[in-house]
Structure 1
Amino acid sequence: MANRPVHFIWLLDCSYSMQGERIGQLNYAIREAIPEMRSVAHDNPAAQLLVRTLTFSTTAEWHHKDPVPIDAFTWQDVQVDGTTNLGEALHLVARELQTPPMPQRALKPVLALISDGVPTDDWKAGLRAIDATPWGKKAVRVAIAIGEDADRSVLREFLGNPELQPLDANSPKQLAAAIRWASTAAVKAASQPVAGSSDPLLKQPAYAPPVLDNDDDDVW
């Protein structure tokens, strides 16, 4: 059986509030998670994991525009700039969740949103645009809240499931753990859509994020 694609999209807050240690730790954590993503992909040979990255600040733009197979994916550090235009980012993602460009035989895409603040544009319109697409409704969604100032109500609405909560990342250690979980467990949930599977990730609520302990002295 030919591989069916799993499209994994990082949506990364690169506003000025992320400058310094936060953006450095974000780059480090995603780079370190890539080998684990490859391992998950190799464990699911019927699925082809394709990764890309979207950043949002004063504007939203593709950092890795074209879907790249995880075995060929190389992380390029993101930089901070400006405000938090999440709505614009969601509109860009919504365009990619139409068919085409998404193939009809794809598996569920993964949308992983990371933010440390409050959106500065009409994010609800962007979320409606994603929800209006067939692949947006099916997507496995993950949200990571960095620091105490992150708007968790926005992230909960993005998740679209009252049983799910965003992952809290209030320190470098928690951020690394959250990204590691998002980049592996969510991929498993998307790439093994077999009803009745014994995989605990596929039981309801699917891909429910863990509560991450924080014994790090460096708290954001």
Structure 2
Amino acid sequence: MRGLCIDRIGRRQIVAGLSVLPLIGGAEGLFAAPLSASPDQPYFRFVPGAYEDKLCFLPSQEACDICGKPCVWKYSGNVYAVNDPDSLCARCIADGSLTRHFGHETFGFHDNEVDAGPAYWEEINHRTPGIPTWNPIIWPVIGGMPFAYVASGDSKRFPTGVMVDKAVADAWREIGWDTPGAPSYVLLFKQIDGPEYRAIIDFD
């Protein structure tokens, strides 16, 4: 299902997968689940920075259309569905309430492709908040496991290092650019249980 919605900064909001499970293995501190988990602020392993820099959520006491409780963290992206809720809390995304709400109706949080098994596809598409992009993307996957979204190239949260530099350079070369373009076009992802990074070039 395709849909388009432009947010206040002009990027499309695409919704992918979410999880309340902590990251495991060789994940760096950036991707470690918070020690003091809150039911109102569930952890999303494929978008671990979902609450930072207003990426996916905004603080709000508005009532969630699904559970009726104050959102605390209100989703700021899109739900691609015929009867999409106007107000949606992080809890209802994380615990699968939206899936139960829609039942057999088609819905999703994304405008991307995820070449992963059914369980990961479900998590990315139905239980993970979306990230802002200009264009549909192919979510990076390694060994059947989706990568976690890190940041865009112009974010203060964008990491540094040899492996990051290589991933960014490889992404530019894949589209035929020998010299990197503007950092703002870069979307960076990291392997959850390993050291690998992947970058995607997302032009406006």
Give the TM-score, by structure 1 length. Answer: 0.27
Higher helix share: 1
TM-score by length of 2: 0.28
